[in-house]
Amino acid sequence: MNLSSIRIITGDIKRLVQFYENVTGMPFTWYTDDFAELRTPLGGLAIGSTRTLALFGGSDVASAANNRSVIIEFMVDDVDDKYRQLTDILGSQVVQKPTTMPWGNRSLLFRDTDGNLVNFFTPLSQEAKERSKTKI
């Protein structure tokens, strides 16, 4: 089994897709006005509008902009460089500037336009680098 993607439900899909395109530097593919996806070699980030909830049983299945438990993580080549590039875009959305974690990753934590936590990280220790190797 492989994790395919994580999907965020939002009330403003255009704004959220634009945010992720800006911070990742990667384009999303729009499949409909209500669904877009960013694919990477290991998985994807899908973004759906609240209108897509009708297809899953109704609007009470999920609530947009209410996440308080999930962190969306992207491995980047150099988190400190990414932070310098994104300082103007992120502004007050930065939760934690680049910090080396006890498990060997250097992490930048910030919020997207819906308030979801996002972690850009770079493995530093040998153990962290081994954990991050692609296993498909």
pLDDT tens track for 29-84: 999 999 999 999 989 999 999 999 999 999 889 999 999 899 999 999 999 999 99
Q: Quick check: helix, strand or coil at residue 65?
A: coil
pLDDT in tens, 105-131: 999 999 999 999 999 999 999 999 999
Distance, CA of 75 to CA of 133 (rounded, Å): 11
Q: Decide if 1-66 and 67-136 have a common fold.
A: yes
Among the listed residues 36, 27, 121, 1, the one whose alpha carbon sits nearest the alpha carbon of residue 72? 121
Fold of 67-136: 2,3-Dihydroxybiphenyl 1,2-Dioxygenase; domain 1 (3.10.180)
Work out whether the CA dihedral 36, 19, 118, 28 comes out positive or negative: positive
- pTM for this structure? 0.92
Residue type for 125, please? S
Domain ranges for the chain, please list them: 1-66, 67-136
Which CATH code fits 1-66?
A: 3.10.180.10
Q: Are 121 and 107 in contact (CB under 8 A)?
A: yes
